[in-house]
Structure 1
Amino acid sequence: MLQPLAFRMRPTKIEEVVGQQHLVGPGKIIRRMVDAKLLSSMILYGPPGTGKTSIASAIAGSTQYAFRKLNAATDSKKDLEVVAEEAKMSGTVILLLDEIHRLTKPKQDFLLPHLESGRIILIGATTENPYITINPAIRSRTQIFEVKPLDEQDIEIAIDRALTDKKVGLGELDIDLESNARLHLARATNGDLRSSLNALELAAKSTPADDSGVIFLTLTIIEECLQKKALTHDKDGDAHYDVISAFQKSVRGSDVNAALHYLGRLILAGDLPTIARRLITMAYEDIGLSSPAACARTVTAVQAAEKIGFPEAKIPLSNAVIDLCLSPKSNSANVAINNAIADIEKGGFGEIPAYLKDSHYKGAEDLGRGIGYKFPHDYPNDWVSQQYLPDKLKNADYYEPKSNGRYEQALKEQYGKLHPSKK
C-alpha cells in the first residue's frame, strides 16, 4: 500500500526538518544533541502536523539509532517490553511515544528505569500542555520543547520539495501548480504541513492530465481538496492579511457591521485558528482595562467556538465581536508594557534595591538582603510608601491611565491616590 505523501516526505536527517529552527537550526538545542550524540529524552508538544514525528525520525536518522514508534493510548505494556528487549541487544533505541499524555501508570513505571539507564531515548509527542497533563515522574526525566505551527514559507519549501522529489514525492508527475493555489496550500492549514501535503497529493492524483500530460492544479481544485475556501481570489496574495487587518481595525473603530462582515469572510474560509487568536489579541490590546469583563467573555466565547467547531462556532464568535465593538476602548496596558520593554532594551536595568532581594536562604542577611523591607500588610490600608524600582529608574513612568470605562476610571483614581505627583 502506498503511504501518504506526508509520511513519505518525512526527513531522514536533522538538516531536512522543515521549520522549528528554534530547536533544530544550527547551534540550537536539538541540533547540538544530535551533533554531539548526547541525546536526552524529551517531550515535543504543539498542534497536529507541525513536525513532532518528523523531528523524532530525523534524530534517529542522523544518529543511526534504531527508531520505534508507539502510541501511549493504544499500544500495550507488552509493546514497550519488546522495545526494551531490543534496546538491551542493540544498545540504544529512540522511542517516539505518541499521545504521551495518555500514558498509564503501569506503562510509565515500566519505562522509567529504561530512561534512567539511557537504553531508551524517549521522544514523547502530544498536542496537550505537558506541564498540566503529563505525570511529574516523566517530566522530571525529560526536556520539554514546544513545536510551533509552521509559517507559510516553511510549508512552501515542503511543497516545492514534494513537487520535485522523484523518489518519494510527486516529481514523476508533470504538475503545474498555480501560484495562488500554492499560496492557499501554504496558508489555509494554519501551519499544519501534513494537511497541506495530503491535499496536494489528492489534487494531483485526482486531476486528469491534459493532452500534453500536464496536470494543472488551480485554486478551485486546491480549495476542494483542502475543503477550505480562499478569502478572495486575488492575484497578489495579500487578501489573507488584508481581511485580518480590516477585521481588527473595524473592531478597534467600534464598527459592528464592518467587523461582522470581515468575520464572515474568515468564517467562510474556515479559518477558526486565526479568528480565535485575533479576537483574544484584540480583546486585550484594544479593549483591555476599560472592560476586563469583555476580555474574559471573549476568551470564553473562543473556547466555546473551538469546542463546537463550525458551523455553530459562528454564534459565540459573533457574540464576541459585537461585545468587543461596543465596549469602551483602551490600549493603556499595551502601551505600558511596550514602554517598559523599550526602557529595558535601551539598557534600563539598574540594581534591584537590596531590601527587595530574596532573603530566604542562609547568609542572605549577611549580604544585606531583605533588610529594611517594609511589609505593606503591616501598615494602614495595606500600603506604605517605598521605592521598588532600581535607583536608575526610580522616576520611570510607564503606565498612563485612561478613563474610557468604569473599571479603568477606578484604576486611574487609585493610581492618583498612590502617586499624587502623577495625577
Structure 2
Amino acid sequence: MKGNDIMAFHPLAYRMRPQNLNEIVGQQHLVGPGKIIRRMVNAKLLSSMILYGPPGTGKTSIASAIAGSTKYAFRKLNAATDSKKALEQIVAEAKMSGTVILMLDEIHRLTKPKQDFLLPHLENGQIILIGATTENPYITINPAIRSRTQIFELKPLTAMDIRQALERALHDKKNGLGAFNVKLDDAAIKHLANATHGDLRSSLNALELAVKSTPANDDGIIHITLKIAEECVQHKALIHDKNGDAHYDVVSAFQKSIRGSDVDAALHYLARMADADDLPSVTRRLLVIAYEDVGLANPQTAARTVAAVTAAEKVGFPEARIPLAEAVIDLCLSPKSNSAISAIDKALDDLHQGNYGEIPNWLKDPHYQGAEKLGHGIGYKYPHDYPHDWVKQQYLPDKIKNRHYYIPKKNGRYEKALAEQYYRLEKFKGRPLEKDE
C-alpha cells in the first residue's frame, strides 16, 4: 500500500498536521517571527519543553512542525498507555542514529519508573522531550520533569485561525479535500469555525464528515450548507471542562467577578459552568462567596444563597440555572465585607506563630472532681447575673489580652450596627480601638 493510500485512512486533522513552523495555525506568541520556539529551531538549539492548553489547539502540530523543521526523527507516545519498554526502544534508536524528538502525550500521567528512566537521556540530549497536556503543569507534573523542561502555554485558537485552516484543507489536493468539488457556504464555514470553541481538530474532522457524507448534486458539486455543517459537528468543545485545568480558572474568575460586583461577568462564568453541568462547583463556590465576600455586610444574602443552592440541587440542570442566576445577581449587587474571614485568619496566624497563652483559670472547665483545687472556674462571672447580661471580664490569655482580630467594616446596615456594639463593648472592657483601625 502506497504512502498516500495509508494517509487516506487517517482523519483529516491528522493528514493536515504542519510539516514546518510556517504551516502552524495560531500560537504566534511561540512560533511567530522572533518568538521563542522559532528561535530555538532556527538556532538548532532545541530543549525539552511542555506544551499545555485546551484540546485541539496545536500541541501535536507544534511538535510535528519542530521535527519537520529540524529533520530529527519524530516519535510519539502516550504517557498513560505506552509501556516503559516503548520508551526503551526510542532511547535505543537515539543511541544508534542520533537525537530523537519524543512527543509524549498526557505527560501529567507519567509514572515514576518511566520518569526515572527518561531523565538521564533528557540531560544528555539524546531525547528532546515535547510533553503535551491539558492540565496545568505547575500543578500536575513532577518537579523533576518540570526542572528539565521549558513550559509553554498554548492559547485557544480564534475563529479566524480555524477558518484559515479549514480553507487550506479544503484546497489541499495531497492531504486535504482538494480532490472533491466542494461548494462551502459562508454560513457553513463560519459555523465550523465557531462551533468547537477553538478546537481545530474537531472542526477539521467535521468538515471531512460533511464533504464525504454529502452526495454531489447533478452538476457534480458537493454543496455544504449551514444545516449540513450543524449536523456534522461531532464534538462540542466545552468552554468549561469540569474535569480539566481550565476549571480552576473559571471558578476563580467567577468568584472574583462577584467580589468585584460585575453582574454580567459573573453570569458569563456561571453560564460556562452550567453549560458543563458543573453544579457542585457552582453551589460550593456560591456558599463560600456568601460568607467570604458578602459576609456581615448582608447576612440575609447568605440565607437566600443557601435557599437558592438547595433549590438548584433539588431541580438540577437546566432549571437550576434560574435560582443560581438569582443568587449570583443578589451576591454581586450586595454590599461586601471580608471582615469575618480576615478576623479568623488573623487568629489562626497568631496560633500558628505560637502567639497564644494559657487560658485564664476562671474560664477553665470546673465540672470534675479536683478542679476547684486547681483553681479552675474560680472567679468566673456569669454574665446573665448582671444588668444587660454583660460584665467586664478578661477572656483572652494574658499574652494576647489586648489583641484585636475583628476589624468592623461599614458597608451594610447590619455590620454598621455590629461595629457600634463592638466599639462600645471594647471601650467598657478598657481596651478601646480606633474606629478606623
Q: The TM-score by the shorter chain falls in which range?
A: 0.5 to 0.7
> 2:333 pairs with 329, 338, 341, which one?
329
> 1:314 pairs with 318, 322, 347, which one?
318
Moved over 4 A (4+): 251-254, 270-273, 275-280, 282-285, 288-294, 315-319, 330-333, 377-383, 404-411, 417-421
Q: Structure 1: give runs of 5+ residues left out of the alignment.
A: 230-247, 306-311, 334-376, 384-400
> 1:118 pairs with 120, 125, 132, which one?
125
Instruction: Tell me by how many angstroms 1:404 deviates.
Output: 6.4
CA distance in 1, matches of 2:92, 2:101: 13
Change in CA separation of 1:163 and 1:143 when aligned onto 2, cut-off 3 Å: same
> 1:207 pairs with 207, 211, 214, which one?
214
Instruction: Tell me by how many angstroms 1:326 deviates.
Output: 3.2
Change in CA separation of 1:3 and 1:68 when aligned onto 2, cut-off 3 Å: same
**1:403 match:** 411
Residue-by-residue CA offset, 1:53-77 (whole Å, 9 max, x unaligned): 0010000001111100011111111
**1:3 match:** 10
Change in CA separation of 1:228 and 1:36 when aligned onto 2, cut-off 3 Å: closer
Normalising by the residue count of structure 2, what TM-score does the alignment of the two structures yield?
A: 0.61
| Pairing 1:7-406 to 2, within 5 Å after superposition | 7-227=14-234, 272=276, 289-290=293-294, 314=318, 317-329=321-333, 381=403, 403=411
CA distance in 2, matches of 1:47, 1:35: 27
**Greater Rg by CA:** 2
Q: Assess if the C-alpha contact under 8 Å between 1:9 and 1:168 holds in 2.
A: yes
SS in structure 2 opposite 1:327? helix
Instruction: Tell me by how many angstroms 1:181 deviates.
Output: 1.5
Normalising by the residue count of structure 1, what TM-score does the alignment of the two structures yield?
A: 0.63
Residue-by-residue CA offset, 1:317-349 (whole Å, 9 max, x unaligned): 44432321333516999xxxxxxxxxxxxxxxx
CA distance in 2, matches of 1:322, 1:173: 52
Instruction: Tell me by how many angstroms 1:379 deviates.
Output: 12
Aligned residues: 317
Q: Assess if the C-alpha contact under 8 Å between 1:290 and 1:408 holds in 2.
A: no
Q: Assess if the C-alpha contact under 8 Å between 2:182 and 2:223 holds in 1.
A: yes
CA distance in 2, matches of 1:222, 1:57: 29
CA distance in 2, matches of 1:17, 1:201: 19
Change in CA separation of 1:212 and 1:271 when aligned onto 2, cut-off 3 Å: farther
After superposition, the CA RMSD in angstroms is 4.5
Q: Assess if the C-alpha contact under 8 Å between 1:289 and 1:408 holds in 2.
A: no
Residue-by-residue CA offset, 1:349-398 (whole Å, 9 max, x unaligned): xxxxxxxxxxxxxxxxxxxxxxxxxxxx9996579xxxxxxxxxxxxxxx
Change in CA separation of 1:127 and 1:252 when aligned onto 2, cut-off 3 Å: closer
Q: Assess if the C-alpha contact under 8 Å between 1:45 and 1:146 holds in 2.
A: yes
Change in CA separation of 1:125 and 1:276 when aligned onto 2, cut-off 3 Å: farther
CA distance in 2, matches of 1:11, 1:85: 27
SS in structure 2 opposite 1:186? helix
Change in CA separation of 1:291 and 1:184 when aligned onto 2, cut-off 3 Å: farther
Q: Structure 2: give runs of 5+ residues left out of the alignment.
A: 1-5, 237-256, 338-398, 423-432
Q: Assess if the C-alpha contact under 8 Å between 1:290 and 1:405 holds in 2.
A: no
Change in CA separation of 1:90 and 1:323 when aligned onto 2, cut-off 3 Å: same
Instruction: Tell me by how many angstroms 1:5 deviates.
Output: 0.4
SS in structure 2 opposite 1:314? coil
Change in CA separation of 1:28 and 1:332 when aligned onto 2, cut-off 3 Å: farther
CA distance in 1, matches of 2:111, 2:137: 15
- Residue identity in the other structure for 2:78: N
- Residue identity in the other structure for 2:331: S
Q: Which moved more, 1:323-332 or 1:168-177?
A: 323-332
Instruction: Tell me by how many angstroms 1:314 deviates.
Output: 3.0
Identity of aligned residues (%): 59
Change in CA separation of 1:409 and 1:131 when aligned onto 2, cut-off 3 Å: farther
Change in CA separation of 1:20 and 1:278 when aligned onto 2, cut-off 3 Å: farther
- Residue identity in the other structure for 1:144: I
CA distance in 2, matches of 1:406, 1:125: 52
Change in CA separation of 1:404 and 1:112 when aligned onto 2, cut-off 3 Å: same
CA distance in 1, matches of 2:417, 2:234: 47
